[in-house]
Each structure stands twice: as structure tokens, then as C-alpha cells.
Amino acid sequence: MQQCRKILDALSGSRGRRSPFERLLDLAISALDAERGFLVRRSETRDKARVLAARNMDQETLRGATGRVSNTIVGRVLESGETVLLTDAGQKGAFALEASVAAMKLRSVLCSPILMDGAPVGALYVDNRFLPQKFGPAEARMAETLSAAFSLALRQTDLEAELGEAQGRIEGLE
């Protein structure tokens, strides 16, 4: 129940220095005991994904985040709409031979889809480059809950952008 309260606080918190995405990522990293976290959103053309926010366990923004997330794993989540849980990504399993996984020396990875109207529009991606088996089924369920909160934050951001565009059109008519 305390986690639910923290999620709601992150969504409704003041618009201070940190965006709702950063607040939710900080919460996800803490709740999942991850090293780093990324909010990735599919582009309008659906051919690429971009990192909207990237944070580390010290609640610092990661610069140049695009190259720090496995596009292969994110791509799989965006296509399947299913959570990917890797307990030792670089050593065994379907992603062990992927260049991005090997280059980043990933060990534990958890990537959950962010759904809107049942379709994946983004992903919550957390990892640990040092410890295998950092995440399990309980963490996967928590990531899916946090992904639902990210969906609300993305929808709110989209609605605010639409409102700004509508206001601009109205001002243009005056």
C-alpha cells in the first residue's frame, strides 16, 4: 500500500525541478533496487524509440542515455507487449549474443511495456550491470504496476501538448 501512495505522489507531485517521468523513474529504481532506469517511448512512425528520461540510483539524470539501453530488448517489448526479465543477460538466454547486451555488459534487465488502449507505446527499462538475478517475478509485477503509472503520466503529457496546440490555434483565429 505504501508503494501505491508513492506512485500517486510521484504522479501528482509539484512541477518542481523533476518531471513526473523523473520522479517515477526514481521510484522505480528504488522500488526495484536497480542501478539505472529509462523511460522509452515509441516514435509516432513506430520505427524507433527514444529515451524520454534516464536516471541512476543516485537520482541523477544520465546524459547520452540513448546508447545505454538495449534497443534489442526494448524492441522486443514494444513488439510483443510483454515484460522481459533477464537474470543474467550477458551469459545465457535469447539476448546473450546481442551486441548491445554484450557491449553494455548487462547482467540483470527488466523491461516492461507501457500500454495505452492496450497497445505498447513505450517501456520502463531498468537494469543492473554488475549483479545477476537482481530481478525476479515479484519485481516484474512491480514494474508492470509502475508502467501503468507511466502510462498515466504519458497520457497527461500528451493531453497538455494537445491543449497547448488548441490554444495556439484559437489565438491564431483572433
- CA distance linking residue 98 with residue 79, whole number of Å: 17
Q: Please list the helix, strand and coil fractions of the chain in percent, rounded to the nearest 5, in that order.
A: 45, 20, 30
Percentage with pLDDT > 70 across the chain: 76
Q: What does the pLDDT read at residue 97?
A: 46
Confidence grade of residue 120 (pLDDT, cut at 50, 70, 90): very high
Mean predicted confidence (pLDDT) in 138-166: 88
Give tens-digit pLDDT for 28-64.
999 999 999 999 999 777 667 888 889 988 877 787 6
Nearest to 68 by CA among 40, 96, 32: 40
Mean pLDDT, range 11-24, rounded to an integer: 72
